[in-house]
Amino acid sequence: MLIGHIKEIVRHPVKSLRGESVKETKVMKYGLYGDRSHAYLDETNKGDFLTITQFQEMVQYTARFSGEEAIDKYPEVEVITPDGTVYDWEDIELIKEIEKQSNRKISTRKYSPSYVPIGPIAVEHILLATDASLNKLEQLWGKDDVDLRRFRPNLFLSLKEKKPFIEEEWIGRRIKIGSEVEMEFVGHCKRCMIITVNPENAEKDPSLHKTIIKERNNNFGVYASVIKTGDIQVDDEVHLLD
């Protein structure tokens, strides 16, 4: 059954930095190619991942791949700072800037294109959200337009039938994207303080999180596991399988 099409594909080459919207990419066993494949570690806090939770200004730094995707080696990873300066993600000047801004000692970690661990980098393979649910959330919040980047989904679906939160009814079922890729919905996405941080100015507003807790039991978006890998692109049809 046709349920919609892919409106946007977003991957985050560096964990907790702003992601990049791409027209096409590969779906690997772990999720989108290179998604959260690189990370900054907080050596001030026992080497845990540095995230927006500790340093909310991370939302203003954009990470992107520069070059063609390859299975044996990632393209170079560039980071664009809030003032527009472009660095290699491991450039010492960038590291110094993040250390100064976050007041933490930073190191780096990256994984191979064929393997990104599930758990330390992400809860599941893919996070998916829909246009109908985002529009409904804007009504429930009643404050401003809700920036999709607050929720950091990999796939943003435009639904054929604009029924808010219908994706939650699909948990336990599979979808097919394009001609190759299949995924199975496995659970709700429980939300944390990250969604309170405005991606544009890094300012916090807890009222959005409070709205989701009250109206949606703290759920927004659904997780999916990859069943069949392959290539996807924007505008690919999405079918719910029997």
Domain hosting 10: range is 2-240
**What is the rounded distance in angstroms from the CA atom of residue 215 to the CA atom of residue 210?**
8
**What is the rounded distance in angstroms from the CA atom of residue 32 to the CA atom of residue 159?**
21
**Which helix (H) or strand (E) covers residue 94, if one does?**
helix 92-102
| Structural domain count of the chain | 1
Tokens of 239: 């079918």
CATH of residue 61's domain is 2.40.33.20
Nearest to 201 by CA among 57, 43, 40, 48: 57
* pTM exceeds cut of 0.85: yes
Q: Return per-residue pLDDT of the chain as tens, 242 residues.
A: 999 999 999 999 999 999 999 999 999 999 999 999 999 999 998 889 999 999 999 999 999 999 999 999 999 999 999 999 999 999 999 999 999 999 999 999 999 998 888 877 778 899 999 999 999 999 999 987 899 999 999 999 999 999 999 999 999 999 999 999 999 999 999 999 999 999 999 999 999 999 999 999 999 999 999 999 999 999 999 999 98
Tokens of 52: 């927006």
**What is the rounded distance in angstroms from the CA atom of residue 203 to the CA atom of residue 197?**
5
- HSE (side-chain half, CA atoms, 13 Å) at 195: 23
